[in-house]
Amino acid sequence: MSAGAARVYGPHAKLVMQVKPMIGRRTALQAIGWGGGAALCGRVRGTETRPPQSTKPARSVLFVFLAGGPSHIDTFDMKPEAPAEIRGEFQSIATKTPGFRICEHLPLLAQRTHKYTVVRTLSLKSQADAVHELATPLVLSGTDARPPGTGTVWSRNDWPCYAAALDFVRPRTDGLPSGISLPYRLEPFPGQDAGFLGPLFDPWQLNVDLNNPRYDPQAMRLPDGFSTQRLAQRRQLLQRYREHRSAGKTAVQQQFSKHQQRAFALLSRGTMAQAFDLEREPAAVRARYGDHIWGQTLLLSRRLIETGVPIVQANLGHPNYWDTHTENFKGHKETLLPRFDRAFAALLDDMDSSGLLEETLVIAMGEFGRTPKIGGNVGTPTYSPTGRDHWVFCFSGLFAGAGVQPGQVIGRSDRTASYPVTESYHPSDVGATIFSTLGVDLQREIHDRLGRPYLLNDGQVIQTLYGSANT
Digit-coded pLDDT (tens) for 47-104:
333 444 445 679 999 999 999 999 999 999 999 999 999 999 999 999 999 999 999 9
188-197, 232-241, 256-265, 346-355, range with the lowest pLDDT: 256-265
H-assigned helices in 75-202: 84-87, 107-110, 132-139, 162-169
Q: Evaluate if residue 299 carries a pLDDT over 90.
A: yes
308-312: average pLDDT? 97
Residue 277: per-residue pLDDT = 86
Q: How confident is the model at residue 148 (pLDDT cuts 50, 70, 90)?
A: confident
CA dist., res. 337 & res. 107, Å (int): 10
Closest CA to 146 of 245, 38, 225: 38
Residues 417-439: tens digit of each pLDDT: 999 999 999 999 999 999 999 99
String of DSSP letters for 224-277: TT--HHHHHHHHHHHHHHHHHT-TT--HHHHHHHHHHHHHHHHHHH-HHHHHH-
Do 159 and 13 touch, CB atoms closer than 8 A? yes
| Confidence bin at 249 (pLDDT 50/70/90) | low
Q: Does 313 have pLDDT greater than 80?
A: yes
pLDDT attached to residue 241: 63
Q: Can you tell me whether residue 118 is helix, strand or coil?
A: strand
- pLDDT tier at 210, thresholds 50, 70, 90: confident
Give the model's pLDDT for residue 11: 32
Closest CA to 347 of 308, 312, 303, 410: 303
Question: Crossing angle, helix 337-354 and helix 293-307, to 10 degrees?
Answer: 20
Measure the CA–CA gap between 333 and 331, rounded to whole angstroms: 6
Going by pLDDT thresholds of 50, 70 and 90, the confidence category of residue 154 is: confident
3-state secondary structure of 319: coil
Average pLDDT of every residue of the chain: 84
Mean pLDDT (whole number) for 191-209:
91
Q: In b/e form, how buried is each residue of 281-304, taking b as 16+ CB within 10 angstroms?
A: beeeebebbbeebbbbbbbbbbbb
Question: Does pLDDT of 267 surpass 70?
Answer: no
Please tell me the distance from the alpha carbon of residue 369 to that of residue 73, in angstroms, as a whole number: 8
**Amino acid sitting at position 202:** D
pLDDT of residue 207: 85
The pLDDT tens digits for 365-402 are 999 999 999 999 999 999 999 999 999 999 999 999 99
Share of the chain above pLDDT 90, in %: 66
Residue 32's pLDDT band (boundaries 50, 70, 90)? very low
How far is residue 362 from each of residues 15, 31, 214, 403, 413, measured CA to CA in Å? 21, 34, 30, 11, 23
Give the separation between CA 73 and CA 79, rounded to whole angstroms. Answer: 7
- Lowest mean pLDDT, pick from 2-16, 145-159, 177-191, 388-402: 2-16
3-state SS assignment for residue 398: strand
DSSP states of 268-287:
HH-HHHHHH-GGGS-HHHHH
Mean pLDDT of 161-169: 98
Within 10 angstroms of residue 329's Cβ, the number of other Cβ atoms is 18
Above pLDDT 70, what percent of the chain? 75
Q: Where are the alpha helices (DSSP H) in 111-227?
A: 132-139, 162-169
